[in-house]
């Protein structure tokens, strides 16, 4: 799990620019497995024959930016793709994906030495129009010679760390963790005989309004659908646990309501019963934001987000518990076995 997760995370793929991560995911599949890519870029893997029984989704895209301007002085302006926390951008190293390869840049910040006398700038969160990316270019021509163009995708420089042997910290666990879970499930299930068809959708543009899942839900008519995603945990100093009750290490969190979704309580009980039979710990949570399940549910299937608790969501240092990842794999396999005997 660790090596797979690291490889997925280090591949860049911001919303609308998922080709690289999609190609990497496809390279991990058995060669004879059924797969297809739709016009929006969603990548679908299917196992079994007959009626569509179950659909699992995990979104490939991550938060990021695009180049919006190459200034005459060689500095770049960027715009966000998804819910970027502006507090986390200044002082960061960035990677710009260009036609010539990756280019390194840094988001500059005005140092205290040249601020106004009262240094009021320190108390303000810079807006995107006040930020710039320094790629070491003296003018626009030099920046263009590096391969940089308007609309090039930009990501944070990524790290991948193991904390105390139990936790993983990285930019993009939301939702490369879900992608890793589905890849492991596919590996364990693709040779099994099953009644009906199981579909695995690696979706695009989730961070831009669940757009990929809306398309997938329109043509994959499964009876049941599950979004394998993450859930923000507020269990940290300075935050109220009520705002994010997901507990790291307590198992996959069944997300029963969020900003765009509410679960069928009987369906939640059914899934918890499946988990209990296999002695897989689960927890029930209510959360903000939303997942692919909200877009797919309105197409008809019983739907439920199965989420991995995550600290510091949407930051460059998201943290997840490795045992939660393993238990999520076990739960997804248990669901497949239960409905496709």
Catalytic residue list:
206
DSSP 112: G
Angle at 17 between CA 295 and CA 224, to 5 degrees: 25
Q: Do 131 and 125 form a contact (C-beta atoms < 8 A)?
A: no
Give which of 231, 230, 206 is closest to 216, Cα–Cα: 206
β-pairing, 160-163 vs 302-311, is unpaired
Report how far residue 81's alpha carbon sits from residue 63's, in angstroms, rounded to the nearest whole number: 6
* Cα distance between the two ends of the chain: 27
Report how far residue 217's alpha carbon sits from residue 235's, in angstroms, rounded to the nearest whole number: 33
Query: Looking at the DSSP assignment, which residues form a beta bridge with residue 262?
Result: 257
Q: Do 178 and 308 form a contact (C-beta atoms < 8 A)?
A: yes
Give the count of alpha carbons within 13 A of 298, CB side only.
10
Cβ neighbours of residue 137 closer than 8 Å, sequence gap 6 or more: 74, 75, 143, 146, 148
């Amino acid at each position: 799990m660790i090596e797979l997760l690291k490889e997925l995370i280090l591949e860049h793929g911001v919303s609308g620019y998922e080709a690289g991560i999609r190609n990497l995911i496809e390279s991990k599949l058995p060669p004879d497995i059924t797969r297809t890519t739709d016009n929006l870029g969603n990548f679908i893997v299917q196992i079994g024959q007959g009626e569509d029984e179950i659909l699992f989704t995990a979104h490939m895209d991550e938060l990021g930016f695009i180049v919006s301007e190459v200034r005459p002085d060689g500095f770049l302006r960027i715009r966000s793709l998804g819910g970027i926390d502006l507090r986390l951008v200044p002082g960061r190293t960035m990677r710009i994906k260009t036609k010539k390869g990756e280019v390194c840049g840094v988001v500059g910040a005005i140092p205290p030495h040249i601020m106004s006398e009262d240094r009021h700038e320190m108390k303000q969160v810079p807006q995107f129009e006040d930020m710039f990316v320094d790629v070491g270019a003296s003018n626009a021509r030099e920046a263009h010679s590096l391969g940089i163009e308007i609309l090039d995708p930009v990501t944070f420089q990524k790290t991948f760390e193991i904390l105390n042997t139990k936790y993983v910290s990285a930019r993009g666990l939301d939702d490369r963790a879900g992608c890793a879970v589905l890849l492991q499930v596919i590996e364990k299930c693709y040779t099994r005989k099953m009644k009906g068809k199981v579909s695995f959708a690696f979706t695009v543009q989730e961070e831009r309004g669940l757009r990929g899942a809306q398309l997938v839900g329109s043509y994959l008519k499964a009876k049941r659908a599950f979004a394998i995603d993450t859930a923000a945990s507020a269990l940290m100093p300075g935050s109220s646990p009520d705002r994010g009750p997901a507990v790291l290490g307590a198992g996959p969190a069944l997300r029963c309501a969020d900003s765009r979704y509410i679960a069928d309580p009987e369906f939640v009980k059914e899934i918890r019963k499946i988990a209990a039979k296999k002695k897989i710990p689960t927890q029930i949570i209510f959360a903000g934001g939303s997942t692919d399940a909200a877009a797919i549910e309105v197409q008809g299937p019983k739907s439920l987000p199965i989420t991995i608790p995550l600290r510091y969501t949407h930051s460059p240092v998201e943290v997840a518990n490795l045992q939660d990842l393993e238990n999520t794999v076990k739960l997804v396999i248990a669901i497949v076995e239960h409905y496709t005997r």
